[in-house]
A and B are shown apart, each in its own frame.
Chain A
Amino acid sequence: MWSFSHIADFIHEWLSSTFNPTWTLIIEMVIAGVCVIGLFAALGLVLVIMERKVSAWIQIRLGPNRVGPKGMLQSLADTLKLLVKEGMTPSGADKFLFNLAPFIAMIVAMLLFAPIAFAKDFQLWDLNIGVLYVSAVSSIMVISILMAGWSSNNKYSLMGAMRSGAQIVSYELSAGLSILAVVVLTGSLSISDIVMSQADGWWIFKGHIPVIIAFIIFLIAVTAETNRAPFDLAEAESELTAGFHTEYSGMKFALFFLAEYMNVFIVCAIGATLFLGGWMPFHIGNWEGFNHVMDWIPSSVWFFGKTFFLIFVIMWFRWTFPRLRIDQLLNLEWKYLLPISMFNILLATLMAIMGWHF
């Protein structure tokens, strides 16, 4: 069958038979790197146009419709514009940190691609602590924001960065705890194990109320973690003009922009993997015919379909809600999400011990 895992296996076999193992490893790493960067660029373009179209339709507008068929090449034109734009550095800025910050944001986003299972048997690095790795690395993101805010020598940027620091540190907790609910039920931190455990049904269906609650909390928490509206206090356009990236322009700004969308993609991919079965097709009990049809759809389509659905939900949030205030944001986390997710994890543990899930 024509699938990603076959291609990967074929390349691996061919390389192994042609080169010695060291060279094979090096070449495979290069290919993986190129693929990730390519995916990065492609996803960036797709997500930007998707956001613009979603916002346009919600706002009873047409959205971009001039460049390319139905405006689909608009984000390419935007990228070109950002590439040729002058990247300015304010005179009072800490130049080293100012220039470093967007790259850190980018590198963090790239690192997060490693453990994600894009399709059946198609994963860059199936490490045994995949989930832990994702939540650990994604919190480095805040460093780049703090760095950008501090080094810009701009009061708006600094305030945006400080807000973002408080926000991400808080929301890491409930995001982690809601991930933990699934980990407890699966009994493994490995992404591939978590996906395999959903072969007979996705966790959102198997896990009853605790997983549904965990899923909702996960969605809210990751929206906050990626600095998306209604939790976009780090940017807060109407309050802080553009928050931490006020002083950035040109390609450096584009890197921040891209990193934001990549983070959205990654958290949605993790959400899809943990709660919606990753690349696992949708099966209903004993309906053999239906299940066969579902199996026939390639696993990568399942994965990307679920991920893009979650991305749509996050965009839908953004274009519906007003922004929270900083104290309300922290109230929501510490008074609502955290207690609920702690209680929820107790419930999930109880369920796992008693074997109440399907």
Chain B
Amino acid sequence: MFIVKYIKDILGAVKSLAIGMKRTLYYFTHHKEIITQQYPDNKDTLVLPERFKGEVVMPHNEVNEHRCTGCTACELACPNGTIKVVTKFDITPDGKKKKAIDKLVYHLELCTMCNLCIEACPSDAIKMAQTFEHSVYDRSQLTKILNNPGSKIMEGVE
């Protein structure tokens, strides 16, 4: 009958709306469900996973030595021309010329964090750091030189 269907429609509609309102009331009253992270405040406790790709860095040991041989594998692997390896020739104690890096220039502003350079590196000289607050006021600050001044290649890395 029309009138029965009419009333059923209304009751069904009210019921479906009430179910939704019950759900939102639940969240309104249960504040422990809140998932907001208060970012700048939680900096101390914020731990990023060790694989997080923030920027490329070159680790140095205590005596300012790195593992980079200057083979330009990373430069070739990079899709955007982010890395530029500038090489020089060192004279080893026994008088031979040896290729070494002068500068490893890294353009953070071009980097897409694809991890291909890290994969390509044969001597594990570079790795991804977990930093992520990269904004600066001047674009030139984003061009970084990864090797420390005066650093040398580690003994035994070929």
Q: Residues on A close to B: CB < 8 A?
A: 54, 57-62, 65, 316-317, 319-321, 336, 340
Contacts and interface: CB of A to CB of B under 8 A. Distances in A.
Contacts of B28: 54, 57-58, 316
Nearest to A62: B36
Interface string B36-59: 101000000000000000000000
B34 A58 contact: no
Interface residues on B, range: 10 to 19
A314 to B, nearest CB: 12
Nearest to A317: B21
Nearest to B7: A340
B31 A61 contact: no
B33 A60 contact: yes
Q: Which of B10, B25, B28, B31 has the most CB of A within 10 A?
A: B28
Given A321-B17, A336-B10, A61 B34 contact: yes
Contacts of B35: 60-61
Nearest to B6: A336
A59 B20 CA distance: 13
Contacts of A59: 27
Contacts of A321: 17, 20
A60 B17 contact: no
Interface of B: 10, 17, 20-21, 23-25, 27-28, 31, 33-36, 38
Contacts of A62: 34, 36, 38
Given A62-B34, A321-B20, A57 B27 contact: yes
Contact of B27 (A58, A65, A336): A58
Contacts of B20: 320-321
A317 B20 CA distance: 10
Contacts of B10: 336, 340
A62 B37 CA distance: 9
Given A57-B31, A321-B17, A336-B10, A316 B24 contact: yes
Contacts of A340: 10
A319 B24 contact: yes
A60 B23 CA distance: 12
A58 B33 contact: no
B34 A60 contact: yes
Nearest to A319: B24
A57 B27 CA distance: 6
